[in-house]
Chains A and B, each alone.
Chain A
Amino acid sequence: MVYGVLRFINFAHSDVLMLGAFTAFYISPMIDKNLGSQSTLGCIMVFVIAAAICACLGILIERLAYRPLRNRPKLTVLITAIGVSLLIEFTGQNEHVFGAAPLPFPQLLPEQSIHLGNLVISSNDVLTVGVTVILLIAMWLIVQKTRIGTAMRAVSFNQQAASLMGIPVDKIISFTFGLGSALAAIAGILYAMKAPGIDPLMGVQPGLRAFVAAVLGGIGNLPGAVIGGVLLGLLETFAGGIPGLSNYRDGIAFAILILILLFKPAGLLGKATVEKV
């Protein structure tokens, strides 16, 4: 999302994911106290509050770290993004912040295993897929059908022209960061529900996977990113289950990335664009 609008990879995105999980970790006991533990309403509250807090954090990061560099070369912003990411990761590991040891993530919803013959599906997985589909539709509606979505697309197309047309570019970029960070927070919570040990470096691997999935599907293309993600996940899981191949699991993700960049740089669903000179 951020890449689509600003054309740079926000490395700190994976750390916002981590912060989302930690926000949920700290607010869920408070919500449990008022609404009883593992209630559906409480779970929704945790998601909404964590998403809101992370949206603010995302906007703050953009304001402090990226906005001052708006007119600098892209490389400067990219390196700053790496710096912001490391800053968040290592601040988080300080023992007075989160500490480096993994913390136990609380169960937000009662978990059940659904048995379909030999197939075992965890209710958390169903939840993850459900939430993803809902958010995907919501994103598509925001980007394609609303005024602010139109403005986002305009900024993505040409920042200067957009500002000449009276679009408040800074506000639109802030909004994009807020939206992206809220999504990251939700992803973080879903991820933590599945693997309930959360630590300040938990965002790094999913961040890399998300990047590969996005490139695989075509950067800036929403359905493409989903297809990329599903493909990558299936390939990795199959590789994980085959003796002898299971140690190449991570390698497979990045081998795919290289192949895609070589043969179809625009991704599976991406449109090839001609760079204007």
Chain B
Amino acid sequence: MHFTNRFFLLMGAISTILISFTSCNSGGGGDTIAIGEFASLTGKEATFGISSHEGTLLAIEEINAAGGVLGKKLTLKTEDDQTKPGEPANAVNKLIFKDGVIAILGEVASSRSLEAAPICQKNKIPMISPASTNPTVTQTGDYIFRVCFTDTFQGAALANFASGTLKAKKVAVLTDVKSDYSKGLAKSFKEKFSTSGGKIGSELDFNGGDKDFKGQLTAIKSDAPDAIFIPGYYNDVALICIQAKQLGMNIPIFGGDGWESESLLTIGKDAVEGHYFSTHCSPDQGTPEMTNFVAAYKKRFNGKTPDAMAVLGYDSAMVLIDAIKRAKTTESTALRDAIAATKDFSGASGKFSLNAERDAVKALVFIQIKNGKFTYNATVNP
């Protein structure tokens, strides 16, 4: 008796879930257009996900306020992947099959974009990554795009920066082995730096989320390089800089766009002072698109200054919306072709076009941390 009761309860629960699944399967039709987004809203790299989400949301809200696209309003379906491997696949599957989205925006981190990309490609759903710089992301297939530069470009720019601005002859490299972004950027940096006559000193690894880096730093210190290159994410970088300072290492430390987050400054404090990183854009770059975006973002999110991830989140949504307008349909093949044809697009991050590899061709900026602020240092054109 007891058993049958439970059994019926279970059956009831399952059927309720099934019903709710089938009844929601609408998204594409009707009088709204559903756009999917997956981002790391919680977990280790949460500030990235939150920033890109806010940028994307702002873009959708602006378009809806101006009357939508093709006479329809846009709805943004957001899924949190918790900064965890495995979750992007769940998120994207849900967006495609349950919410019936016409395109997907995401993710900042290359590892998680790489996980979602094959699923989007297989289901012919265009995916636009705001900030995944690993070259392999868009090599997944012809439905995968990005609105940022790749690490091949970024790594080369960083190598030139190390030998040019920093005048470094020997550079130590500290890579996050958990991240495809970090490994890819380290590789392209090392190739360019050694072919242009520089020497790579000790090469050490860490796992994203580690708290103690003294083992690696002591080894680097005894090798005495001129600078340290850390292609990592802000949370680890802040701790590495603090511990490097404790060990009395006064050499410049530099990295890529993974550094950019307010958390780097609030946690690293004076330990990150004077260090450099390259990124996609700077709120101070003075183009009208950027100025308008910064003003709108500050108004919408309580005076918060947008970082590069927010700008790229906004641009990824705007590129998609622009493509929908040009395609005059949300049918996937036509939409894909329209995105691929994006040319001289005036985004908040700057003017860019998508090349044949579906990557954005655009400039890169160097930022130095001065007096506890991200300060614009230089621009490198492709």
Contact = CB atoms under 8 A, between A and B. Distances in A.
Interface of A: 90, 93, 99-105, 111, 113, 120, 122, 191, 194-197, 199, 201-202, 205-206, 236-243, 246-247, 249-250
A116 to B, nearest CB: 13
A99 B304 CA distance: 16
Closest 10 CB pairs of A and B: A240-B215, A100-B46, A195-B211, A247-B205, A237-B215, A241-B215, A197-B267, A247-B177, A241-B219, A104-B266
A240 B50 contact: no
22 contacts: A93-B46, A100-B43, A100-B46, A100-B47, A101-B47, A101-B50, A101-B263, A102-B238, A102-B267, A120-B247, A199-B235, A201-B43, A205-B210, A239-B215, A240-B214, A241-B204, A241-B216, A243-B204, A243-B219, A247-B206, A249-B210, A249-B215
A240 B213 contact: yes
Given A199-B46, A238-B215, 12 more contacts: A100-B50, A113-B247, A120-B246, A120-B248, A195-B211, A201-B43, A201-B44, A206-B211, A240-B215, A246-B204, A249-B210, A250-B207
Interface of B: 41-44, 46-47, 50, 177, 202-207, 209-216, 218-219, 235, 238-239, 242, 246-248, 261, 263, 266-267, 269
A14 to B, nearest CB: 13
Nearest to A95: B50
B372 to A, nearest CB: 12
A196 B242 contact: yes
Interface centre among B42, B43, B211, B214 (most CB of A within 10 A): B42
| Most chain B C-beta atoms within 10 Å of own C-beta, residue among A113, A197, A249 | A197
Given A241-B216, A243-B202, A93 B43 contact: yes
Contacts of A246: 204-206, 215-216
Q: Is the interface of A mostly helix, strand, loop or mixed?
A: mixed
Contacts of B239: 195-197
Contacts of A197: 235, 238-239, 263, 267
A201 B45 CA distance: 11
Contact of A102 (B177, B206, B207, B235): B235
Nearest to B49: A100
Nearest to B174: A246
A205 B203 contact: no
A201 B104 CA distance: 28
A150 B147 CA distance: 66
A100 B41 contact: yes
A205 B219 contact: no
A217 to B, nearest CB: 20
Contacts of A206: 211
Most buried by A among B41, B47, B267: B267
